[in-house]
Amino acid sequence: MTSALPPISELRRRIAGGALTHLSLVEQVLEGASAPAAGHVFTRLYPDAARAAAHHADAMQAAGVTMPPLGGLPVSIKDLYDVAGEVTLAGSVACQGESPANRDAAAVARLRLQGAAIVGKTNMTEFAFSGVGINPHYGTPRNPADAQVARIPGGSSSGAAVSVALGLSVGALGSDTGGSIRIPAALCGLVGFKSTQSRTPRDGAFELARSLDTVCAMARTVEDCLALDAAIADTPLVVRRRDGVAGLRLAVPTSLMFDGVEPAVARAFDRALSCLSAAGALVTELPLEELTEIARINAPGGFSPVEAAAVHRHRIGARRAEYDPRVAARIDLGMSVGAADYIAMQDGRRGWIARMEAALQGFDALVCPTVPITAPPIDELLASDEAFFKANGLLLRNTFAINFLDGCAFSLPCQAPGELPVGLMLASVRGDDARLAAAALAVEAALQAAPV
């Protein structure tokens, strides 16, 4: 089981009261990062830098200076972000020996400016190209939610999620191209926030698909996700907080999002929806047939394979044997797609977004399971390409729709105690991040207050 850190507000209270220091917290985290439970979570640790940030925060605290939300607190960063002087490996061995980064990625630099104690880089799916979280080069971090069965953590931000779930960070900088924040958040029982793509700069983030890549983070609570988002976006969202969920307008799509849903997921989602409805949320079933069009519009290769092929065409030509074969196979899907088909995909997506935005007018959020399954055992997916790609498709299906929309979304845990984690996704259109955050805060509070 996990030994998660309390929310940031509680840590701040304990530090202010003298029960804890930033340095003692960082030392606790660094010790935990070397424990067996943290196997394969980090690809690199920064103990000296993390201690230095904690020392500075303790000195500022002693001087009576008000600390920024993340000041001196342990944070992890995904292995696809540049750190000055290091080669960015992005979960691969095929980048070893390449030129080191000249400067920190924009999001990393902003975390440092906020005084965050960056503990280390976290493991990930190679080149961020799957929702499963398996990595054949650096190992696969085990999902802490199940002590008996070694289950996948979800991907591609696998180590990021496990670092938070194990209490090795208050929050984790990850990325989300088709669900890479929300999938592992859902499978590990965390909160993940995929912002509108343009909200956070992608400078210094290893590219997967430029049309979809989003720099974002996960944490234990919505409030903590908003603190991380404020740091990496360099501007906090102006959230008009709601007094409960009464009157909250929720659209439940009847197309696509519930196909093949696992019974455990359906039960947890239905229980959560009943709780919200009983508290006054206005739940409306919406056909949203537009969701069934995604596969057709994305059919000529798909945005991720096509744009990844452009990123990797020289490297994979020279070092293909070093790639995870399952990742290489997906990149191959984009190699033969021509410019005309790619432009048609862009045009089709643009029109689809306009129709989806019109269909969602009048609602505060679309709501559905983040993913339709609970975390499968690692061994099952290692043993079979068929099982791997089936699980990958299911894991990505619901979350990818929001990337395709260029929307924003939260994944909130909605399972009962003793159940495997299940995520409830609240999503909206691009630029609606602040209003969606208000809804997520209210929904989180209602779910936590519900009788079990």
Is residue 390 annotated as part of the catalytic site, yes or no? no
**Closest among 107, 385, 66 to 232, alpha carbons compared:** 107
DSSP 399-436: HHHHHHTT-EEEEEE-PPTTSPP-EEEEEE-TT-HHHH
Contact by Cβ (8 Å): 219, 189: no
Contact by Cβ (8 Å): 114, 68: yes
Tell me the CA distances in angstroms from 287 to 1, 13, 254, 257, 291, one per residue in order.
39, 46, 5, 11, 9
Please say whether the dihedral angle defined by the alpha carbons of residues 370, 364, 258 and 299, taken in this order, is positive or negative.
Answer: negative
Give first-to-last CA distance, the chain, whole Å.
Answer: 20
Cis peptide before 274 (omega within 30 of 0): no
Is residue 411 annotated as part of the catalytic site, yes or no? no
Tell me the CA distances in angstroms from 134 to 11, 79, 183, 350, one per residue in order.
32, 14, 13, 33
- Indicate which residue of 78, 157, 194, 195 is catalytic: 78
- Indicate which residue of 163, 180, 411, 428 is catalytic: 180
Is residue 78 annotated as part of the catalytic site, yes or no? yes
Do you know the residue count of the chain? 452
DSSP 352-383: HHHHHHHHTTT-SEEEEESSSSPPPBHHHHHH
- Indicate which residue of 76, 92, 130, 156 is catalytic: 156
Provide the 3-class DSSP secondary structure of residue 171. strand
Tell me the CA distances in angstroms from 14 to 8, 20, 24, one per residue in order.
10, 6, 12
How big, in percent rounded to 5, are the helix, strand and coil portions of the chain?
45, 15, 45
Residues tagged active-site: 78, 156, 180
